[in-house]
Structure 1
Amino acid sequence: MRGALRIFCLTLLSSVLMLPVLRWIGSRSFSMATETQSSGTHSAAFVTCPNDTVAKELARGIVEKKLAACVNIIPQITSVYEWQGKIEEDTEVLMMIKTRSSKIPAVAEYVRSHHPYEVAEVISFPIHQGNPPYLKWIGDVVPE
Structure 2
Amino acid sequence: MIGIVYITAGSMDNASEIARELVARRLAACVNMFPIYSIYRWNEKVEEQNEVALFAKTDSSRLEEIIETVRFLHTYDLPAIEFWEVKGEQNYLDWVHVNSS
Q: TM-score range by the shorter chain?
A: over 0.9
In structure 1, give the amino acid aligned to 2:25: K
Q: Distance in 1 between matches of 2:99 and 2:5?
A: 16
Alignment match, 1:36: none
What is the rounded CA distance, in whole Å, between the counterparts of 1:133 and 1:49 in structure 2? 30
**Structure with larger RCO (C-alpha < 8 A, sep 6+):** 2
Structure 1: 5+ residue stretches without partners: 1-40
Matched to 2:17, the amino acid is E
Instruction: Give distance in 1, aligned partners of 2:45 and 2:97.
Output: 42
Judging by fraction of residues, say which structure has more helix. 1
SS of the residue 2:46 aligns to: strand
The RMSD of aligned alpha carbons is 0.8
- In the other structure, the counterpart of 1:120 is 79
Residue aligned with 1:118, SS: coil
Other structure's SS at 1:109 match = helix
Aligned to 2:54: 95
> Partner residue of 1:72?
32
Structure 2 portions without partners, runs of 5+ = none
Q: Deviation digits for residues 90-132 of structure 1, max 9, x if unmatched? A: 01010001000111111111000110101111011111x2011
Percent identity over paired residues: 35
Deviation per residue, 1:27-69 (Å, 9 max, x gap): xxxxxxxxxxxxxx11101111111111111100000001000
TM-score (ref. length: structure 1): 0.68
TM-score (normalizing by structure 2)? 0.96
- Tell me the residue number matched to 1:135: 93
Partner of 2:33, secondary structure, is: strand
Aligned to 1:43: 3
Larger Rg: 1
